Structure 1
Amino acid sequence: MTYVAWSDVIASSNVVKYVLENDLNYKVNLIQVDAGAMWAGVADGSADAMVGAWLPTTHEKYYSKFEGDFVDLGVNLTGTQNGLVVPAYMDIDSIEDLKDAE
């Protein structure tokens, strides 16, 4: 199973590995790769699975490129967001404000 080194994907991949090995008696090897290789590996069959697809935004280009070469088993996490964040106590309202922040 391929995965990218993002904390959420590392956690999800290890949970799936645990279930597959302990409940279903599969042997699972986790292989860390970048996002493009993760998608390509599943699409070309050199990897059996991945659980780190950030859709519909971050990985949309990979989904479109390899669509038809993989089976989408559905959503495993909902309500996620991408973006920049700062603590509420900081007086920052834009990306431009970051350059002056201490």
Structure 2
Amino acid sequence: MSDDKSAEKPDLQWRILGGLIGLAVGFASRKVLGFAWEKATGRKPPANADSPDISLGEAIAYAVVMGLGMEVARIVATRAAAKKWHTWKEAAAKDAL
């Protein structure tokens, strides 16, 4: 186990940036997936999947599409941002020397 505390806990700046990226990607992916759902099914996405007006199959399909789609988008965006963040940190450390 390393004594380097920076390896154990992410920077506060990265945690804030990562959270903001997650929020933005979540909002954008929900809009995109809702649009795709409407184009694919011809119906607006269910506002309330618990509603008896929505079939069980449609509610489950919508939950799977939204959950999987939003999580994949979040992972891809966060990993890309983390890679860029580490590149910036390394460049800043080299400049500091």
TM over 0.5: no
CA radius of gyration, larger in: 2
Larger relative contact order, structure 1 or 2 (CA cutoff 8 Å, min sep 6) = 2
- Measured against the shorter chain, the TM-score band is 0.3 to 0.5
TM-score, normalised via structure 1 length: 0.31
What is the TM-score normalised by the length of structure 2?
0.33
